Homo-oligomer: A and B are copies of this chain.
Amino acid sequence: MYAVILAGGGGTRLWPLSRPDRPKPFLPLLGERTLLRATFERVVPALLGPGDVVVVTDRRYVSLVLDELPELDRAQVLGEPVGRNTAAAIAYAAAAIERSPDDVMLVLPADHLVADQEGFRAVLRDAATVAAGGPPGTGSGPLVTLGIAPTGPETGYGYIVAAGRRPGVTGALDVARFVEKPSVDAALALLAGPAPVAWNAGIFAWRRDAIRAALATHAPDIEAAIKAAVGAGPADPAALDAAYATLRATSIDYAVMEPASRAGGVAMLRADVGWSDLGSWAALRDALVAGARAAGEPAGAVGFGARLDRGSESTLVMGGARLVVTIGLRDTIVVDTPDALLVCAADRSQEVRAIAEELARAREEDR
């Protein structure tokens, strides 16, 4: 078993803290450690040795990764010339890292929160057992995805619709289909429907041969381009540049999981482990409030940095170098950085992305 950590760049939803030169996996959003480091320590050493971890990232961030994870050799960090979403990153890792075809490959996004580490590792072990399913060399193991119990009709997630129980591992389900980012009405209909439904966390387990076969079947252009580049040898960045220049940017969910699920080749395991994709400031606020409550700590104004609060509720303060004083706020996000300050109603934190993009465009036009 080995783990591929996806530490992509981009992302404007946590502006002004996440910036092009230090994207979300490299931010210490939950305390001292960066999200990347926390992701690594979630599986090393309790589940894997450091030699069994690979990180895929933008070529610009390879040195950031090695700074954060000094346990890794340079060869364990795959630098993409440009981000092409998860299908390309996973195809690259599956092709470039030499492992036995029936080795199980875990895929872990580097920018999520998991509150229950022990429970998470137990689910990963079960997922690996399910994924290893087929006899060696057959390439017939299922693609396994972790499913999160929905807490509401969120429109920002993909939904997994399960079919029925799968024999063997307790709790494993066959997946009937995926529904990508539904409308609120469609999400409500899914939640009200008869079939078990879960959010797709983007955390996967599969045999190396299974994902390569699935890519060859459902996204042959991606698999072929990656194969050609990697065949030229890992030390040939020009071949990688050429391949990535032609690769389409698409998620593994769209490119592989959806068609594979229709063919009956996908399984799901529930992972009720305090997961959050930290996809907005409100999501981080919710995670920190839940953590504070679980620890019996004050949860009115959560966050980091030099802070002083009087009577705020459900408020997140990401402090910086300066003292941040908050008085009587409610459902508010405060993010303090050296060159920009965000103060935002929590229920509108999805709009941060639009602001960040607007500012980036304005900067471009100023050039």
Which of A's residues lie within 8 Å of B, judged by CB? 16, 308, 310-311, 322-330, 332, 334, 336-345, 347-349, 351-352, 355, 359
User: What is the CA–CA distance of A340 and B325 in the complex, to the nearest angstrom?
Assistant: 8
A326 to B328, CA, bound (A): 17
- Nearest B residue to A320, CB-CB: B341
Structural contact, A322 and B338, CB atoms closer than 8 A: yes
Q: How far is the CB of A342 from chain B (nearest CB, A)?
A: 5
Asked if B310 and A355 make an inter-chain contact with CB atoms under 8 angstroms apart, the answer reads yes
Contact B341 A324 (CB under 8 A): yes
Say yes or no: B324 contacts A345, CB within 8 Å: no
Q: Is the CB of B324 within 8 A of A343?
A: yes
Instruction: Determine the distance from Cα of A323 to Cα of B341 in the docked complex, in whole angstroms.
Output: 6
Contact B328 A347 (CB under 8 A): yes
Determine whether the beta carbon of A343 is less than 8 Å from that of B334.
yes
In this complex, which of A16, A336, A341 has the most chain B Cβ atoms within 10 angstroms of its Cβ? A341
In the complex, which of the residues A322, A330, A336, A337 has the most CB atoms of chain B within 10 Å of its own CB atom? A322
Select from chain B the residue with minimum beta-carbon distance to A308: B355
Contact in complex: A343, B326 (CB < 8 Å): yes
A323 CB contacts on chain B under 8 angstroms:
339-341, 359
**Cα–Cα distance between A339 and B338 once the two chains are bound (Å):** 11
A-B residue pairs in contact (CB < 8 Å), sample of 6: A308-B355, A323-B339, A329-B332, A332-B332, A332-B343, A334-B343
Please tell me if the beta carbons of A322 and B343 are within 8 angstroms of each other in the complex.
no
Considering only CB atoms, which chain B residue lies closest to A336 in the complex? B341
Question: Of B16, B332, B338, which is within 8 A of A325 by CB?
Answer: B16
| A311 lies within 8 A of B348 (CB) | yes
A329:B345 contact, CB within 8 angstroms: yes
Does A328 lie within 8 Å of B341, measured CB to CB?
no
Bound together, the chains give a CA A216 to CA B241 distance in angstroms of: 91
Chain B residues closer than 8 Å to A338, beta-carbon distance? 322
A331 nearest CB neighbor, chain B only = B328
Question: Which residues from chain B contact A345 at a C-beta distance below 8 Å?
Answer: 327-330
C-alpha gap A334/B345 in the complex (Å): 13
Which residues of B lie under 8 Å from residue A359 when comparing CB positions?
308, 323
Which among A323, A336, A337 has the highest number of chain B CB atoms within 10 Å?
A: A323
**Chain B residues near A16 (CB, 8 Å)?**
325
Q: With the chains together, A323 CA to B345 CA distance in Å?
A: 17
Complex CA gap A325/B356 in Å reads 10
- Contact between chains at B339 and A325 (CB < 8 Å): no
A311 CB contacts on chain B under 8 angstroms? 348
Residues of B within 8 A of A336 (CB): 341
A342 — nearest CB in chain B belongs to which residue? Answer: B325
Q: A329-B332, A332-B332 are in contact. Are A341 and B322 (CB under 8 A)?
A: yes
A344 touches B322 (CB 8 A): no
Question: Closest chain B residue to A348 by CB distance?
Answer: B328
A67 to B74, CA, bound (A): 61
- Cα–Cα distance between A16 and B322 once the two chains are bound (Å): 12
